Amino acid sequence: MGAEQDMVLVVGGAGYIGSHTVRVMADLGRRVIVLDNLSTGHAQSVQKARLIVGDAGDVRLVTQLVQEHAVRWVIHFASFSQVGQSVADPAMYYQNNVARTVDLLYALCHAGVRGFVFSSTAAIFGDPLTALIDEAHPKNPVNPYGRTKFLVEQMLGDLERAHGLRSVCLRYFNAAGAHPDGSLGEWHEPESYLIPLAIMAALDQRGPLQVYGSDYPTPDGTCIRDYVHVMDLALAHVQALDRLADGGSSDAFNLGNGAGYSVRQVLDIVGKQAGRPVPAEWAGRRAGDPPRLVADAARARSVLGWRPQYPELRDIVAHAWRWHEKRG
């Protein structure tokens, strides 16, 4: 039995990855509603679905939505996700990412929701002990953001044992890119992620890019990350939901392309797209940043059948560029 006709509630569906997932689901003919308080999301990013403006931690509202719309499945994106911000203001991260999620899960467990897909992160692993990080890698987050996500993953196990709520945690590495048609993209205020900042600097939409750290233990001294196209991440959420609907057990999957790019390499690719070097200024390291994070996503491919459509960084950058050019 699949989830094709069941109602899905996407919490945080007006944000970056959430809005792309909602669009993919709607294009597939899935029934979906969005709950978002618009603290970081944008109403205009919700396409082909109904938006309810409200808080994920509002137990009464969540319970009402589940009952009124016969919600059977929930996908949760409503987390703050900036590493540096989490180091500067950890209480805000524990309040939003943990406390509000506890209230959300309380409502879902008592309202009969059958399955939960959680937007997790590679930040739960901390400094890598191996070149490629698989699901069995030790979990030792080095920043509050990663710790909040790991706490939720641990809670989900307790809730399944107590209430039968099955879940899939998707630990993605660096989300990037935009919808290929340019109608959706990465839109944070303020922006803090490398690829959009580099594109904005190259388009003269902001000042020079601040690059944090050039003395990491990597070949060129800058951090290495595994960039995953947002449309590929969106598809993984749909596949995770279908796994639960088909009776699959709770699980966790790493999502990445298995190829790391340094900050200098990213700037080079953006510069080639722009036709000129990206204006950049070099600064010291940022607290909480591991030198290298690259995924081993073999389990997602074998168990979920996940096949990234856009694994090349040049395609990720090209789609993101199109979005920023259209937005102006």
Please give the positions annotated as active site: 145
Q: Point out which residues pair with 224 in neighbouring strands.
A: 262, 292
Q: What is the DSSP letter of 44?
A: G
Residue 302 has a CB neighbour count (10 Å cut-off) of 10
Residue 238 has a CB neighbour count (10 Å cut-off) of 20
* Angstrom distance (rounded) from CA 113 to CA 8: 10
Both tokens of 246, joined, read 């088909």
Q: Is the backbone peptide bond immediately before 190 cis, with ω within 30 degrees of 0?
A: yes
Beta carbons within 8 Å of 313's beta carbon, 6+ residues apart: 227, 259, 261, 265, 266, 269
Q: Is the distance from CB of 233 to CB of 170 less than 8 angstroms?
A: yes
Residue 5 has a CB neighbour count (10 Å cut-off) of 10
Q: How far apart are the first and last CA of the chain?
A: 45
Q: Point out which residues pair with 293 in neighbouring strands.
A: 225
Burial category of 80 from C-beta neighbours within 10 Å (exposed 0-12, middle 13-18, buried 19 and up): middle
Q: Is the distance from CB of 273 to CB of 188 less than 8 angstroms?
A: no
Residue 301 has a CB neighbour count (10 Å cut-off) of 14
* Angstrom distance (rounded) from CA 236 to CA 174: 14
For 76, the enclosing helix (H) or strand (E) is: strand 71-76
Closest CA to 76 of 47, 107, 30: 107
